[in-house]
Amino acid sequence: MADQVNVYSARKEALIKPLLDKFTKQTGISVNLVTGKADNLITRLKSEGKYSPADLLITTDVGRLYRAKEQNLTQAIAASNSIKSVPENFRDKASHWVGLSLRARPIMVSPERVDVKTLTTLEDLTNPSWKGKICIRSSSNIYNQSMVASLIAQLGETHTQEWLDGFVKNFARPPQGGDRDQIKAVAAGQCDIAIANTYYLAGMLTSDDEEQVAQAKQVKVVWPNQNDRGAHVNISGVAMAKNAPNKNAASQLIDFLLTQESQQWYANTNHEYPVLGDVSWSEILQSFGKFKAEQVALSQLGELNGKAVQLMDRAGWK
């Protein structure tokens, strides 16, 4: 039987299949791709148990990779030079997962209504002057949960709770919609400030929809905490399934996804930051400016997820 790899991916097909096709062309190893929502794929892995055909789980946000590991659905990936080239804080200490791309979650503002000199840290968002001016999606969103978990890891529970209490008081409306909706709300004047992942803004700027382009052009990226801990970042990443039937071929695919060529394609296609430091950013990412990123070990974001949700609930973040 010819070599193959079975991939469960929470990434949309258009954002992963061209790379998988290139891998097949180079190696002769066929890739069977199953796409779906991240939590559904994790549930599927669990229900399939030892009979699961899955070799790899590719998903967004370290919180989900941690969840899969905690449910005993993953195993250590064999060490390779490719994996060692990824900074330590972007991979699991026990090698169960490794980051494939970086996603940054900065502040986005209307430059016409916000003096960016008065907004240099996430902590500034608790200032009463921003009351009724902040848009963000629900506390049930894992991107927000991981952002709060990173604050707990760096500031401690008490300071994070104080920040949450002040932050929630400044919401312009009950949390609703996705990251693009927060950007659109700033453009529409429903709020002056939003928190969103940069690739959503990049996606709007490169959209075929002229209205989305026009909305995105009304928003400016502000990199918070550049004089201390840095801006919040997360990853999309890959884990080796516990019962992977094609481990060797799966390891080859992971190494391929961490080549400079693959990292460059991903940066230019999806406007996420490469995990390898020597790969250039897309022009749109460059237009958002360089930034200092948090150095917190991302595994902590999974470990602190439950605590983050607890503090968010306590602050009344719906």
For residue 14, the model assigns a pLDDT of 85
Look up the domain containing 116 and give its range: 104-231+298-315
Residues 76, 213, single domain; the answer is no
CATH classification at residue 207: 3.40.190.10
Helix axes 142-155, 62-70, angle to 10 degrees: 90
- pLDDT tens track for 143-183: 999 999 999 999 999 999 999 999 999 999 999 999 999 99
- pLDDT tens track for 248-260: 999 999 999 999 9
Residues 126, 196, single domain; the answer is yes
For residue 1, the model assigns a pLDDT of 46
Residues 224, 85, single domain; the answer is no
Residues 69, 188, single domain; the answer is no
Residues 211, 260, single domain; the answer is no
- pLDDT tens track for 107-119: 999 999 999 999 9
Residues 50, 195, single domain; the answer is no
Residues 88, 210, single domain; the answer is no
Residues 171, 303, single domain; the answer is yes
> Structure pTM?
0.92
- The one-letter amino acid code at 53 reads P
- pLDDT tens track for 79-108: 999 999 999 999 999 999 999 999 999 999
Q: 61 vs 307, which has greater pLDDT?
A: 307
In a domain, 292, yes or no: no
Residues 304, 174, single domain; the answer is yes
Residues 131, 226, single domain; the answer is yes
Residues 191, 269, single domain; the answer is no
